[in-house]
Amino acid sequence: MATHASGFAFPSGHATTSSLMAGLLLTALGLRTSGGTGPRPLRTVVAALVVCWAAAVGLSRVLLGVHWVTDVLAGWLFATVWIGLGTALIRKTLPLPQ
């Protein structure tokens, strides 16, 4: 354990922010390539790297000892809810190709 958290630490801000960024990047990638253009393997690799990056940020918080696992899980859940709401709103308001 490198250090310890002082003060309130629920949910993890680092886990939330990295997950929000990953979700936004994946949403943008999905919107950009929804027409079927672009090489599929490249999209898959980029998506996997983005997800692994967000997971590594959250796991690093636990390994460094600055957050409990529940703090990181709550951050990921919080980001997932916001990305889901935002994506639903985008799909409802913008005419996207099917």
Residues labelled as active-site residues: 14, 67
Question: How many degrees, rounded to 5, is the angle at CA 23 between CA 34 and CA 51?
Answer: 100
Measure the CA–CA gap between 88 and 34, rounded to whole angstroms: 16
Measure the CA–CA gap between 38 and 80, rounded to whole angstroms: 26
Placement of tokens 């393997």 in the chain? 41
